[in-house]
Structure 1
Amino acid sequence: MLGTVLLFGMTLLFVTGLLSYAAYNPGLAPVNDKTPDKGLLGFYLFAWPTDPHWLYRLTQGLHVTVGITLIPVLLAKLWSVLPRLFALPPARSLAHALERLSLLLLVGGALFVFATGVLNVQLEYVFPGSFYPLHFYGAWVFFAAFVAHAALKLPQTVRVLRAGGLRERLRTHEGHGPDDEGEDGLAAPRPAEPTVSRRGALGLVGGGSLLLFATTAGQSFDGWPRATALFAPHGGAEPGRGPGAFQVNKTARSVGVGPDRTGDSWRLVVAGPGRTLRLTRADLLGLAQHTADLPIACVEGWSTSDQAWSGVRLRDLAALAGYEDDAPAVLVESLQLRGSFRKAALRDNQVRDPRSLLALRVNGADLTPDHGYPARVIVPAAPGVLNTKWVSRLTFGEL
């Protein structure tokens, strides 16, 4: 039963993880791409769409919430097969030795991707190197071993789930399933007296998963549900009050952006083929203003509801830079002095979307410093880090 839950849960995690990587537009190298030499592993990459506008909020919210919820199931599954670790002789044949070695990739890969994922969600970057390539390659290694293991064990899983009455078997303390005995069984050779029923054991695992779900899922919502996200860095009450009272990932102070960089001396540089403009905030406010209701959704799994952003369309700024017809991709640069993604690239389909803005205001008020004043990018369905804050330069054209 634990394996069946992981079969579906791990598959969902892998698919949504690949989608998250695609959403970062890794083809726009070397700006967005943190994973060199993808080779065949990047076969599936595609231009991330802008519709529906809540797409990344859904896929990444599922990825993080389901991943954390599965932790007790994974640990219980590993505990259930612990007797096999000490089985003697350690290898009965060459084929058996190869199978046991493959389990190193399965178990080690699972622990690695879950550990790095949880550390990233908690904003604890204690692992060596960048999270993106570590998690990307680790996920592929794990899932290859996972698919092979699931294919080998699927017939046995089906037999066990069909044999006898499942509800009846969950009521008993003793007795093994039809496949527990023999060289492929999971029963300990000299088991101690049972202290909990099968149903009790599954209840303990399910209760742990339910607790983690209840204390994590709220970070994907605004209002009172966010206060239930006790284990998430962006849980708790919304910051402050007023139009800007919704979550931020990085504050202006944390990345070295102060009033000296965002005051009257600030200029937005808009560059294109043979044309470069330097625009004040007043210049930008004098251009045609548009409004779009869009959320912020981050790789750590947290998100906000739709906020009413207003500002200048990116495609209109591309026209100012010399692209009258089809707006191209754009390189966005930030004033921030510290942290990742000081530069980010957006595809042409994102620039051309009429909801993609260089936002100057949100919910009817000027941006706050923590929300990117004097100007920030907001794009439908894009990961939060691509919605660059404290924008200093937009370069349209070849990246």
Structure 2
Amino acid sequence: MGRSRLRGWVPAYGRGMRDSSPSSPAFWRSPLRGPRFTSVLGLVLLLGVTVLFVTGLVSYAAYNPDLAPVNDKTPDKGILGFYLFDWPTDPHWLYRLTQGVHVTLGVTLIPVLLAKLWSVVPRLFTLPPVRSVTHGLERLSLLLLVGGGLFEFATGVLNVQLDYAFPGSFYPLHFYGAWVFFSAFVVHAVLKVPAAVRNVRRMRAGEETVEDPAGLVAPSPDAPTMSRRGALWFVGGGSALLFGTTVGQNFDGPLRRAALLAPHGGADPGTGPNGFQINKTAALAGIDAVEAGDPAWRLTVVGRGGTVRLDRAALARLAQHSAALPIACVEGWSTSDQWWRGVRLRDLAALVGHEDDPPGVFVESLQRHGAFRHAALSASQVADPRSLLALQVNGEPLSADHGAPARVIVPAAPGVLNTKWVARLTFGRL
């Protein structure tokens, strides 16, 4: 009799212990989890992550990695560099659009990504962890998907905020991480998207039954405090809030002031002709005011025809041209078109023996601190008549923070290639 009572008592205790373990389905009691909720979030991420991946590759192409090792911060790409091409200069707002979409969309998708991970977190604790070779491969792809996604979004946000709290260079880390994440994402999409599409269609048709092969529905859910539709609206509201506090960095005026989550540069740009976004001030770049001013400063231009040195007065005597171009930075911010005036890069190339076929140019700055103290531009960028060594902006001389005495400005190029405080231009083989 005692043994019988003992046997009757053990299952109740054991059941309680099992319910307290994350590997037990009964541990997860939220009534919101289920294939409907997960399917909607998954389809949003399918489109959003694909756009993020494509615009990310476009950003690398815009840096002209073929000019390595000057611009390229991710060496030894091998076959992963198949997409590289000569970045165009038309339309002049191209990089402003693609990088603005990349950064703004990435920040906006953060609540969707976190909600999607929350909706499937019980699957990470299922036992046994591997039931077969096929199941093991699926679990590995899931690990790479979750880890890669969190890594890419985290490093991207830190880069946008100019906070490099991770070891190594952002460029190779983010580049290789993107390939790992997107490869796992493609495998996951091939396996899961058909069922997600069917579930969404059934939801729209008002059907009660949906596919739940992953067992996401809690077997003994708690009482709901909101509906699944309400939860989706909550996630959407979080994304809308992040969108509203980020997208303004792509515009001037009141919208930029609303971009609370966007970087705002090293100083207030103030007002007037030079009163637009600054990413790095002259002080942060270590610019010596005497070295960058008259009469000390000289521009050295080198080409196959020899070397020419020009002070600011000599540059001002050359033919001056104007171009309306924005500045667009990898962190996602951009300005509206500013009116730049100076000497065409192709005219400077002609001074040193490149009259008919201006080649690429290696640009060196007076900058002492930080990355991108030099950059390279392709031959097509030099040949564009809007590519200038600018001396003025919006009718006034450049301020020190905007690159005085001279800076490069090129249509559709990332901001870091529009080198400030230019000291030397070398045309020809890099």
Could you tell me which amino acid in structure 1 is paired with residue 284 of structure 2? S
Residue 250 (structure 1) aligned with residue 289 (structure 2): no
Partner secondary structure for residue 343 of structure 2: strand
Residue 112 (structure 1) aligned with residue 146 (structure 2): no
Residues of 2 paired with 1:194 and 1:305: CA distance?
A: 48
Gaps of 5+ in 1: 170-174
Match of residue 162 from structure 2: 123
- Superposed CA RMSD: 1.5
Residue 206 (structure 1) aligned with residue 236 (structure 2): yes
Runs of 4+ that moved beyond 4 A: 235-238
Aligned match for 1:378, one of 394, 406, 409? 409
Match of residue 222 from structure 1: 252
Write out per-residue CA displacement over residues 249-283 of structure 1, whole angstroms, 9 at most, x where no aligned residue: 10000010031221120000000114001100000
Residue 349 (structure 1) aligned with residue 380 (structure 2): yes
Match of residue 271 from structure 2: 241
Q: In 1, are the aligned partners of 2:267 and 2:278 still within 8 Å (CA)?
A: no
Normalised TM-score (structure 1) = 0.95
Normalised TM-score (structure 2) = 0.88
Percent identity between the aligned chains? 72
Aligned match for 2:48, one of 2, 5, 9? 9
Could you tell me which amino acid in structure 2 is paired with residue 271 of structure 1? V
Residues of 2 paired with 1:92 and 1:163: CA distance?
A: 31
Write out per-residue CA displacement over residues 33-73 of structure 1, whole angstroms, 9 at most, x where no aligned residue: 11111000000100000000000000000000000000000
Match of residue 337 from structure 1: 368
Question: Rg: which structure is higher?
Answer: 2
Match of residue 192 from structure 1: 222
Q: In 1, are the aligned partners of 2:265 and 2:278 still within 8 Å (CA)?
A: no
Could you tell me which amino acid in structure 2 is paired with residue 345 of structure 1? A
Residues 51-70 of structure 1 mapped to structure 2, 5 A cutoff:
51-70=90-109
Could you tell me which amino acid in structure 1 is paired with residue 232 of structure 2? L
Partner secondary structure for residue 269 of structure 2: coil
Residue 273 (structure 1) aligned with residue 312 (structure 2): no
Residue 150 (structure 1) aligned with residue 189 (structure 2): yes
Distance 1:235 1:260, change over 3 A: closer
Could you tell me which amino acid in structure 2 is paired with residue 144 of structure 1? S
Residues of 1 paired with 2:130 and 2:182: CA distance?
A: 24
> Number of aligned pairs?
390
Match of residue 179 from structure 1: 211
Q: CA deviation at 1:238?
A: 6.4
Partner secondary structure for residue 290 of structure 2: helix
Gaps of 5+ in 2: 1-39
Q: CA deviation at 1:164?
A: 4.3
Partner secondary structure for residue 95 of structure 2: helix
Write out per-residue CA displacement over residues 272-295 of structure 1, whole angstroms, 9 at most, x where no aligned residue: 114001100000000000000000
Residues of 1 paired with 2:147 and 2:292: CA distance?
A: 47
Distance 1:236 1:126, change over 3 A: closer
Residues of 2 paired with 1:3 and 1:70: CA distance?
A: 11
Match of residue 172 from structure 1: none
Residue 285 (structure 1) aligned with residue 321 (structure 2): no
Residues of 1 paired with 2:219 and 2:172: CA distance?
A: 42
Aligned match for 2:85, one of 46, 55, 60? 46
Residue 322 (structure 1) aligned with residue 353 (structure 2): yes
Residues of 1 paired with 2:235 and 2:249: CA distance?
A: 23
